[in-house]
């Protein structure tokens, strides 16, 4: 079975397609607030899914990391405005120390083609 890498770099690819499944790298966004960062990161999810030939209606699973679980409600407001309500994926959210101190939220997405 073939493997296709989208936007490969020295450390990681933006997305990897194997079979009929697309695995996105963790997506973070710019901005000062969780709302700004979540909107920016989810726009990047949309872009990478489109590059892979799919969209958010085919997301299978999303793992969300928050630098502080107190951001849960704010992040959920952005998520609920963005996600296709007819096709919600399996999802988990957890608090974690992220790669840079300015990051507040990170989305890891797996989708079908």
* Strand ranges inside 11-54, DSSP E: 13-18, 21-24
pLDDT in tens, 4-62: 999 999 999 999 999 999 999 999 999 999 999 999 999 999 999 999 999 999 999 99
Cα–Cα distance, 69 to 72 (Å, whole number): 5
Cα–Cα distance, 45 to 96 (Å, whole number): 20
- 3-state DSSP helix/strand/coil % of the chain, to nearest 5: 30, 35, 35
pLDDT in tens, 57-107: 999 999 999 999 999 999 999 999 999 999 999 999 999 999 999 999 999
Cα–Cα distance, 68 to 75 (Å, whole number): 11
Cα–Cα distance, 14 to 71 (Å, whole number): 25
| Residue 92 half-sphere exposure toward CB, CA atoms < 13 A | 7
pLDDT at 11: 95
The model's pTM: 0.96
Cβ neighbors of 90 (< 8 A, separation 6 or more) are 60, 61, 62
């Amino acid at each position: 079975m073939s493997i296709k890498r989208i936007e490969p770099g020295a450390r990681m690819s933006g997305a990897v397609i194997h079979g009929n499944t697309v695995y996105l790298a963790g997506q973070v966004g710019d901005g000062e607030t969780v709302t700004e960062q979540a909107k920016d990161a989810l726009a990047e999810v949309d872009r990478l899914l489109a590059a892979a030939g799919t969209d958010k209606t085919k997301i299978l699973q999303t793992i969300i990391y928050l630098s502080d679980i107190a951001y849960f409600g704010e992040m959920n407001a952005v998520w609920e405005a963005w996600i296709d309500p007819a096709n919600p994926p399996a999802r988990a959210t957890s608090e974690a120390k992220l790669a840079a101190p300015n990051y507040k939220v990170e989305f890891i997405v797996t989708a079908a083609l």
